[in-house]
């Protein structure tokens, strides 16, 4: 009888604790100030060398993925500033998410770089479940040499980063 | 005897407190109003005319407190709230010889959401682009939310691509989630 009552009491107490607090909030904002050009047409890993905001995530030592600390459903969005470093090269670039080193199905998006002197933004977004310890990163590819995500610093404007990555916990 | 009496008293007190808490705990909506969905399409969606049409999203990756309509082109809302949603269409042509514009916008309860249209132009043959739009709006239980598109040329549309050594490129991605799980914005 004592055990039962104690169990009921402790369960009730613990259940009531997390309802109005948000101990499991998690979000991150990362970017890259480096121009990233793949060395071949094979998939390459995107580096996020600049951490703007980070809560309940850890950046891997190579700065190419985030390590999840809190399980939940997350919204992720990534964008790359695609351009050509050579005025004679044109083609297209792909961008997709990678969870635990495996590509997330259907997360790939493509943008053409038809005019080698123009810039465009390649974006992909997804909602996905992540468990503590899961890693999340972004891969990209280009079908022509000199195509990649390019960093520029315009006068009197914020830096135009080569890559932006935002993640936030929805549940 | 005294110990027995103290123990009985403690048990009775704890029982009373636990029973007092129980109805409150049952009534508390533990994440009851969280809502989100991730959908995509692997179908090529090329309209036969320049008239607008709804976008199919036949693949459900994640879904909570939404229902997919029978034609798989509409989400039915189950929870009131303020929602963020973003849609992206992979623009291209199956014939590789079409240029022109593709417009994409959101539709709530069968009516286009004002100011939600985004246009992507393809200026060269055989090129790929993305039409992306995003919005924050209030939705009530029973409301429907969908994405429509229109093209300036018949051969243009939303295309699926299967690159070697990469995940498939979906013709359409749609993400939606409720912003205010505790109701602060309502």
Are B13 and B43 within one domain?
no
Task: Give domain status of residue B20, yes or no.
Answer: yes
Q: Which of residues 41-80 of B touch A (CB under 8 A)?
A: 42, 59, 61-62, 64
Contact A78, A165 (CB under 8 A): yes
Cβ-defined contact of B130 to A123 (cutoff 8 Å) = yes
Task: Give domain status of residue B50, yes or no.
Answer: yes
Are B21 and B40 within one domain?
no
Task: Give domain status of residue B184, yes or no.
Answer: no
Cβ-defined contact of A112 to B128 (cutoff 8 Å) = yes
Query: Taking CA atoms, what residue in A is nearest to B178?
Result: A170
Task: Give domain status of residue B39, yes or no.
Answer: yes
Are B94 and B126 within one domain?
yes
Q: What is the pLDDT of residue B54?
A: 98
Task: Give domain status of residue B185, yes or no.
Answer: no
Question: Tens of pLDDT along A39-78?
Answer: 999 999 999 999 999 999 999 999 999 999 999 999 999 9
Distance (Å) from the alpha carbon of B21 to chain A's nearest alpha carbon: 7
Cβ-defined contact of A112 to B24 (cutoff 8 Å) = no
Q: What is the mean pLDDT of chain B?
A: 86
Where residue B27 falls among pLDDT bands split at 50, 70, 90? very low
Are B65 and B144 within one domain?
yes
Chain A residues with CB under 8 Å of B81 CB are: none
Report the number of distinct structural domains present in chain B. 2
Question: Tens of pLDDT along A125-135?
Answer: 999 999 999 99
- Separation in Å, CA A59 to CA A55, A135, A151, A165, B12: 11, 9, 21, 12, 51
Q: What is the ipTM of this complex?
A: 0.85
Which domain, by its residues, includes B139?
32-178
Question: Tens of pLDDT along B41-88?
Answer: 999 999 988 889 999 999 999 999 999 999 999 999 999 999 999 999
Query: Taking CA atoms, what residue in A is nearest to B87?
Result: A125
User: Domains plus CATH for chain A?
Assistant: 24-169 (2.60.120.40)
Question: Tens of pLDDT along B92-121?
Answer: 998 867 899 999 999 999 999 999 999 999
Between CA B88 and CA B94 the distance in angstroms is: 18
Are B78 and B14 within one domain?
no
Q: Which of residues 16-45 of B touch A (CB under 8 A)?
A: 17-18, 21-22, 24-25, 28, 30-31, 34, 36-38, 40, 42
Cβ-defined contact of A16 to B38 (cutoff 8 Å) = no
């Amino acid at each position: 009888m004592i055990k039962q009552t104690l169990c009921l009491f402790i369960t009730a107490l613990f259940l009531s604790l997390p309802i109005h607090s948000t101990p499991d909030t998690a979000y991150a904002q990362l970017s890259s100030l480096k121009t990233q050009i793949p060395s071949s047409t094979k998939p390459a890993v995107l580096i996020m060398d600049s951490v703007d905001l980070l809560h309940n995530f850890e950046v891997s030592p190579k700065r190419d993925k985030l390590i999840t600390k809190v399980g939940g459903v997350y919204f992720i969005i990534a964008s790359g500033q695609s351009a050509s470093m050579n005025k004679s090269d044109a083609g297209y670039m792909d961008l997709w998410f990678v969870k635990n080193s495996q590509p997330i199905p259907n997360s790939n998006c493509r943008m053409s770089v038809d005019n080698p002197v123009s810039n465009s933004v390649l974006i992909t977004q997804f909602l996905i479940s992540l468990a503590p310890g899961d890693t999340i990163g972004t891969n990209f590819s280009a079908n022509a040499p000199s195509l990649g995500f390019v960093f520029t610093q315009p006068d009197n404007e914020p830096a135009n980063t080569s890559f932006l990555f935002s993640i936030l916990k929805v549940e | 005897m005294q110990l027995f009496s103290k123990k009985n008293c403690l048990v009775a007190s704890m029982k009373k407190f636990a029973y007092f808490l129980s109805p409150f705990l049952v009534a508390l909506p533990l994440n009851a109003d969280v809502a989100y969905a991730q959908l995509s399409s692997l179908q090529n969606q090329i309209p036969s005319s320049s008239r607008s049409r709804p976008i199919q999203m036949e693949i459900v990756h994640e879904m909570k407190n939404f229902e997919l309509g029978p034609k798989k082109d509409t989400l039915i809302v189950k929870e009131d709230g303020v929602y963020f949603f973003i849609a992206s269409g992979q623009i291209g042509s199956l014939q590789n010889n079409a240029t022109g514009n593709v417009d994409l916008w959101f539709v709530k309860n069968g009516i286009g959401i004002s100011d939600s249209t985004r246009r992507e132009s393809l200026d060269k043959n055989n090129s790929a682009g993305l039409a992306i739009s995003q919005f924050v709006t209030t939705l009530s239980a029973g409301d429907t939310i969908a994405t429509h598109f229109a093209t300036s040329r018949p051969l243009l549309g939303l295309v699926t691509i299967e690159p070697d050594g990469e995940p498939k490129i979906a013709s359409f991605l749609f993400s939606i989630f409720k912003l205010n799980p505790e109701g602060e914005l309502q």
